[in-house]
């Protein structure tokens, strides 16, 4: 057969398997939730843009009514008591 590199042994070609899974497939595997399904209508969601510029991200968040600043950090707590102190 032309174009098979001469290595045709007569066995059928293995099915095509992608080397990498999509982000949606990985998230679905980890969280058992399909992130590509719209929760409102059940339609298929697709990525249309990725915002990386801080000014653009802030403008988008303002436009959809979300806070543009991260929530305040909670002050650290002391670690739990690791040992008991006994008077001797
Ligand atoms: Zn929808």
* Predicted confidence (pLDDT) per residue in 38-63, tens digit: 989 999 998 888 999 999 999 999 99
* Cα gap 25→32, rounded to integer Å: 10
Residue 55, domain member (yes or no): yes
Residue 34, domain member (yes or no): yes
Strand partners, 44: 37
- Going by C-alpha positions, the residue among 46, 43, 52, 39 that lies closest to residue 23 is 46
CA 38 – ligand 1 centroid, Å: 5
Residue 44, domain member (yes or no): yes
Residue 35, domain member (yes or no): yes
Reading the block at residue 88, the tokens are 């001797």
Q: What's the rounded mean pLDDT across residues 9-27?
A: 79
CA 64 – ligand 1 centroid, Å: 16
pTM of the full structure: 0.43
Give the residue with greater pLDDT, 15 vs 67.
67
Residue 38, domain member (yes or no): yes
CA 28 – ligand 1 centroid, Å: 18
CA 39 – ligand 1 centroid, Å: 6
How does DSSP classify residue 37? B
Reading the block at residue 54, the tokens are 């801080």
Range of the domain at 58: 23-63
The C-alpha angle 50, 36, 14, rounded to 5 degrees, equals 100
Q: How many domains does the chain have?
A: 1
């Amino acid at each position: 057969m032309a174009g098979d590199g001469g290595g045709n042994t007569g066995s059928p070609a293995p099915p095509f398997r992608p080397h990498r899974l999509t982000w949606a497939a990985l998230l679905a595997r980890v969280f058992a939730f399909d992130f590509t399904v719209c929760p409102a209508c059940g339609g298929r969601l697709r990525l249309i843009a990725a915002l990386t510029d801080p000014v653009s991200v802030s403008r988008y968040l303002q436009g959809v009514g979300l806070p543009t600043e991260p929530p305040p950090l909670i002050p650290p707590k002391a670690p739990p008591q690791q040992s008991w102190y006994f008077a001797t």
